[in-house]
Amino acid sequence: MDEGTELCVTIGQIVQRLKGTHLHSQIERQAKECLHQPDIRLESLKEDVRSFLRTSGWERRLQNAVYRELHVQLPPSHPAAPPEHLKEPLAYMRKAQASWEKRVLKSLNSMSSELGVPLARRRPTLEQKELTNKWNEMGTDEPDLSRFRPVYAPKDFLEVLISLRNPNHDSSEEVSVRSHWGLIQIPLNVRDVPQLRRAYSELNMATGQLGIDDHAHVHPDLFESEYIQVGKKVVSEQDSAAAQQYSRQGCPTELRADLWALILNSTNQPQDVMHYEQLKAGVIQHDLLVDNLIYKDVKLTASNDDYYFVFEDFLYQVLLCFSRDTAVLDHFKYNSATPPKSYMEGKESGDDCAVVYPPNGVIPFHGFSMYVAPLCFLYNEPSKLYSVFREMYIRYFFRLHSISSSQSGIVSLCLQFERLLQTHLPQLFYHLRQIGAQPLRIAFKWMVRAFSGYLSTDQLLLLWDRILGYDSLEIVAVLAAAVFAFRSENLMEVTSLASAEAVLADLSTLKVMPLIQIFLFATAI
């Protein structure tokens, strides 16, 4: 398909998606109402209405909506390609993902039957009332969660990724200097330092960065003050694309909430608030088995975290609603995963009796709540917090726990991490391999959570600024390699996996931007 046709198809798709949205009807209404204005003339109707929409900010809002659609649209493909090819072009990856999903669902179903807890049940009225009263302090509830186990932990998923093989690729050659030393044995194309330097050029040492040039001993007039002024302008212009570009150099603390909301086009309109309230009503009415998994996860992870324990209640309010949000099902068009199905009790098994379970198709795993926790720092209105989280999930986080060939997918990130390490720190990699401490075994848990819970909050937010700014999770793999580079001296001395883990146990003092900058721009190639 040539570029012109491709563009037409894209435009057609976007127009289709925006038709019938609330924004569409709002703009229509605005256009109709502006006809009463004196400066709208019949002879130049089209131009005048257009310029009215421009000056009143509606064109900008439309631009932001289009920009958002570009982020979540399906990749270009052959017209005859079946839908699963859009989710994931490589057949062996699709197969691996499907069998992983089967395992997870089986685990969930057997937990349900073992414990005698239904996957879903309607709450009795008294319980509904109690929950409504306790909505803002669900964290004070202490349900008995000892019987529930997380459905899977990141390390289980890692084993699946390690066993992935491309049937068309012969990887049986002897292990040599030229072969790959790491655990991921898939030939995916991942970018190396020279390519990353070009792609992430704004992170170079000559460009000002937040996380480096806003440090205590650097005078604010050298970079920070002006950068903040630019940021304020971006926020007042309400331009998503500009906000995304701006975020590459970091977001100032006081502007970050607005900037991220802009980049994600989370406008928190009345209909978004209403949608959230509907989800909340759904939580009140029905109890899901996955709710217990969420409770358990929050209690085990976020509640024990020095930074995030305060936000426990918010996490329930977001995650319980998230489980019931069928709007999330949309993202499965471009996610290699498929939402799990379950059958209603008493009905014959057949497709018309199957329902997606949980309603949003996402089964939480151990550590899932850490995707939400850092956002609590920025937003304290539940519906806003919810809409920002949901958008971040369907753009980025889902790629961290599904098997796909995407450049931002966890498989690529793992491979990229290992390749970066092998290319630029071969001695370290070899040493760790020899003592049975494969680096990925340590770095995997960081990458699956995009470092949430491992870095201090301010550093994490600076990292996520760049994920948003570059619309890619690659920076997570780069940081993982940079951390190993930073601690390489100590790591060269260790003699076991346990001691390697100990060296890398505490990342809370790390400053991410200097590490990334040095790794990308000061490493000798």
Partner 1 sequence: MSRKASVNKGLYDYDRGEDRIFIRYKCCQINTIQDVLRQRPGWVEVKDDEEWDFNWCDVGWLRENFDHSYMEEHVRINHFRNHYELTRKNLMVKNLNRYRKTIEREVGHMEVSKCDFFPYTFALPSEYHLFVEEFKRSPGSTWIMKPVAKSQGKGIFLFRKLKDIMDWKKNGTHSEDQKEGAPVESYVAQRYIENPYLINGRKFDLRVYVLVTSYVPLKAWLYRDGFARFSNTRFSLNSIDDKYMHLTNVAVQKTAPDYDPEKGCKWQMQQLRRYLTAKHGREKVETLFEEMDNIFVRSLQSVQKVIINDKHSFELYGYDILLDQNLKPWLIEVNASPSHTPSCQEDYEMKCRLLEDTLNVVDMEGRLNGWEKRVGGYDLMWNDGPVFKEDLNLETFGSTCFTVNTHLGCVNDREKHLRRQRLLRPFPGQKTT
- Contact residues for partner 1, defined by CB under 8 A: 136-137, 139-140, 142, 215-216, 253-254, 256-257, 303-307, 309-314, 376-378, 380, 457-458
Question: Whole-number minimum distance, CB 489 to partner 1, in Å?
Answer: 15
Which of 42, 216 has the CB closer to partner 1?
216
8 Å CB contact between 137 and 313: yes
Instruction: Closer to partner 1 by CB, 253 or 423: give it.
Output: 253
Nearest-approach distance from CB 496 to partner 1, in angstroms = 24
Minimal distance in Å, beta carbon 385 to partner 1?
Answer: 11
Q: Measured from the CB of residue 243, what is the shortest distance to partner 1 in angstroms?
A: 16
The DSSP secondary structure of 37-96, one letter per residue, reads STT--STTHHHHHHHHHHHTTHHHHHHHHHHHHHHHSPPP--TT--HHHHH-S-HHHHHH
Q: Which two tokens stand for residue 301?
A: 């992870």
Which residues, 6+ apart, have CB-to-CB distance to 11 below 8 Å? Answer: none
Residues 213 and 513: their CA atoms lie apart, in Å, by: 10
DSSP one-letter code for 408: T
Element (H, E) at 423: helix 410-424
Shortest gap between Cβ of 138 and partner 1 (angstroms)?
A: 10
> Nearest Cα to 358, choosing from 153, 124, 148, 112?
112
Query: Which of 314, 371 has the CB closer to partner 1?
Result: 314
Tell me the two tokens of residue 83.
Answer: 């839908």
Taking the least distance from each CB to partner 1, the nearer of 249 and 335 is 249
Helix (H) or strand (E) holding 288: strand 286-288
Q: How far is the CB of 262 from partner 1 (least distance, A)?
A: 15
Question: Smallest gap, in angstroms, from Cβ of residue 506 to partner 1?
Answer: 10
Nearer to partner 1, 309 or 430 (CB): 309
Task: Pick the closer one to partner 1 by CB: 201 or 304.
Answer: 304
Beta strands 354-356 and 286-288 are unpaired
- Residue 222 CB, shortest distance to partner 1, in Å, is 17
- For residue 475, what are the contacts with CB-CB under 8 A and spacing of at least 6? 200, 463, 466, 467, 516
Residues contacting 23, CB < 8 A, separation 6+ = 61, 62, 65
List the structure tokens of 147: 């019987």
Tokens of 160: 């699946």
Query: For tokens 């929050």, what's the residue?
Result: 298
What is the C-alpha separation between 17 and 23, in angstroms, rounded? 11
Which pair of tokens denotes residue 96?
A: 């691996």
Residue 252 Cβ vs partner 1, minimum distance, rounded to whole Å: 8
Instruction: Kindly tell me which of 253 and 499 has the beta carbon lying closer to partner 1.
Output: 253
234 φ/ψ angles, rounded to the nearest 5 degrees: -60, -45
Instruction: Between 27 and 392, name the residue whose CB sits nearer to partner 1.
Output: 392
**Which is closer to partner 1, CB of 428 or CB of 460?**
460
